[in-house]
Amino acid sequence: MENMPQEALQEVAAYFQALSEPTRLQILNLLRDGERNVGELAQLCGFTAANISRHLALLTKLGLVARDSRGTSVFYRIADDSVYALCDLVCGNIARKFERETSNRRAFLNPT
């Protein structure tokens, strides 16, 4: 990010903002297994198709998801696989943080 112009930083912030919403992360995770349509995603997420469509529109706008029309159906797929590497990195970091906190709690509750 060093020496990036303000416009580029705004794009980076929008990318991370998109990833800050749990429903969008759930959608991205569901798309790991392959393409799906709005109805499938809505059913799997437990939200309305309209809600999922709004999330997909943002993910598409940011280039994370691509859409393909086939007849009357629209299918969505991951357009940028690097999002998974980023999410896996963050999830691993959070898991290590929880492990340290759990270990610290155990040490406090069970001093040797």
Same domain, 55 and 8: yes
Same domain, 72 and 86: no
CA–CA dist 110, 104 (Å, integer): 10
pLDDT at 112: 59
> What proportions of the chain, in percent to the nearest 5, are helix, strand and coil?
65, 10, 20
pLDDT at 99: 87
Same domain, 8 and 58: yes
Same domain, 69 and 85: no
**How many domains does the chain fold into?**
2
pLDDT at 102: 84
Residue 45 domain boundaries: 1-80
pLDDT digits (tens, 9 = 90+) for 45-102: 999 999 999 999 999 999 999 999 999 989 999 998 899 999 889 988 898 988 888 8
- The mean per-residue pLDDT over the stretch 13-20 comes to 91
Lowest mean pLDDT among 10-19, 38-47, 56-65: 10-19
